[in-house]
């Protein structure tokens, strides 16, 4: 009797565990199937076309791809140095009394849903961008900045964790030789934790590029490639969030599914690079 229950229990846990692989495969298959119409009708023009005009059955995804790349780039440029600063502050500078509350509040802020960052951006940051940089405030630049603030807590927390993996004995040896804090950071901690730090940046990048709600509020969903950062723009998730419930033709739907698949492939690739190339060592320890 026990033997039967044992086998049933073991195999059911195995089946359920394997279902996660099945779900992921299913997601890719469904998205691919649904995008078939658009892939066949539009081919490579989908990726290179700059015109997105659903009423004319024209679907060019380049403005959305461009928007995703540029807004994420702005977010990374702004967030990376601040995240490094915060991480250095938390791992080396701050006195014990400050370290814990600041560290915990940063982790808690990483848990705040992105829709709230988006809402804050719309009501409080859009007017500032409008006054300082001109334009209507709903823009690529605003989206990049709000995105950078949204990923900052996550990035700072994982960077700090990576820096904290440096063994104390290494740091102490360097201090004993008369190294200043900066000497220890640049010659001991950063070289030691390099892979982890880069990995966490790439992981944050992977999250940022698929982020929907933080940017949907402030980007405008305008399918136009503009070099002016204060002009409204769109990105892949912003297009999906705005247009999915409005699509009225098969080709329109199919194009949106192709966008979803594109987004999934891009973020899967980025996150895999972070995981397999940089964060492998973490798993073993």
Partner 1 sequence: MTHTQKRIIANNIVMVLSTTSALIGMGFLFWILSVLIINGVDALSFSIFTNEGAPPGYENSGLKHALIGQFMIVGVATIVGVPFGILAGTYLSEYGQKSKLAETIRDVSDIMMSAPSIVIGAFVYSIVVAPMGHFSGWAGSVALTIIMLPIILRTTDDMLQLVPSTLREAAFALGAPKYKVIMQVVYRGAKVGVLTGILLGIARVAGETAPLLFTSFNDNFLNTDMGEPMASLTVTMYNYATSPYEDWQKLGWAAAFILSMFILSLNIIGRLLIMKRKEK
Contact present, 188 and 164 (Cβ < 8 Å): no
CA-based R_g, the chain, Å = 23
- The interface with partner 1 within residues 35-74 (CB under 8 A) comprises none
Cα dihedral 238, 239, 245, 251 in deg (nearest 10):
-160
Stretch touching partner 1 by CB under 8 A, among 52-60, 86-94, 192-200, 226-234: 86-94
Q: How far is the CB of 169 from partner 1 (least distance, A)?
A: 21
- Choice between 42 and 88, CB closer to partner 1: 88
- Choice between 12 and 228, CB closer to partner 1: 12
Q: Is 24 in the site for partner 1 (CB under 8 A)?
A: yes
CA-nearest of 61, 42, 44 to 52 is 61
CA-nearest of 165, 121, 183, 127 to 146 is 121
Q: Is 233 in the site for partner 1 (CB under 8 A)?
A: no
Tell me which of 59, 217, 252, 278 binds partner 1, using CB under 8 A: 217
C-alpha–C-alpha distance, residues 165 and 162, integer Å: 5
Q: Is 271 in the site for partner 1 (CB under 8 A)?
A: yes
> Residue 49, class by beta-carbon neighbours within 10 Å (0-12 exposed, 13-18 middle, 19+ buried)?
middle
Q: Is 17 in the site for partner 1 (CB under 8 A)?
A: yes
- The interface with partner 1 within residues 181-210 (CB under 8 A) comprises 181-183, 185, 203, 206-207, 209-210
- Choice between 39 and 264, CB closer to partner 1: 264
Q: Is 127 in the site for partner 1 (CB under 8 A)?
A: no
Q: How far is the CB of 162 from partner 1 (least distance, A)?
A: 16
Stretch touching partner 1 by CB under 8 A, among 52-60, 165-173, 187-195, 266-274: 266-274
Contact present, 256 and 244 (Cβ < 8 Å): yes
The kind and range of the H/E element at 52 are: strand 52-53
């Amino acid at each position: 009797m026990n033997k039967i229950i044992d086998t049933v229990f073991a195999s059911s846990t195995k089946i359920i565990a394997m279902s996660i692989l099945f779900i992921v495969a299913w997601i890719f298959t469904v998205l691919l199937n649904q995008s078939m119409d658009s892939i066949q009708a539009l081919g490579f023009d989908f990726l290179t076309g700059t015109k997105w005009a659903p009423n004319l059955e024209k679907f060019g995804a380049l403005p959305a791809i461009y928007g995703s790349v540029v807004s994420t780039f702005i977010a990374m440029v702004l967030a990376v140095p601040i995240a490094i600063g915060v991480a250095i502050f938390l791992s080396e500078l701050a006195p014990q009394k400050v370290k814990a509350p600041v560290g915990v509040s940063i982790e808690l802020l990483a848990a705040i849903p992105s829709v709230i960052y988006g809402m804050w951006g719309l009501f409080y940051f859009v007017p500032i961008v409008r006054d300082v940089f001109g334009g209507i405030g709903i823009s690529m630049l605003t989206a990049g900045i709000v995105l950078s603030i949204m990923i900052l807590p996550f990035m700072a927390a994982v960077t700090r964790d990576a820096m904290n993996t440096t063994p104390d004995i290494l740091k102490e040896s360097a201090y004993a030789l008369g190294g200043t804090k900066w000497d220890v950071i640049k010659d001991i901690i950063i070289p030691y934790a390099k892979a982890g730090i880069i990995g966490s940046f790439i992981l944050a990048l992977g999250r940022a590029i698929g982020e929907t709600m933080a940017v949907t509020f402030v980007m405008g969903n305008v399918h136009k490639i503009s070099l002016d950062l204060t002009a409204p723009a769109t990105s892949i998730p912003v297009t999906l969030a705005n247009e999915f419930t409005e699509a009225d033709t098969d080709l329109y739907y199919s194009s949106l599914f192709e966008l979803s698949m594109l987004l999934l492939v891009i973020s899967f690739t980025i996150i895999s690079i972070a995981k397999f190339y940089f964060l492998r060592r973490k798993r073993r320890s």
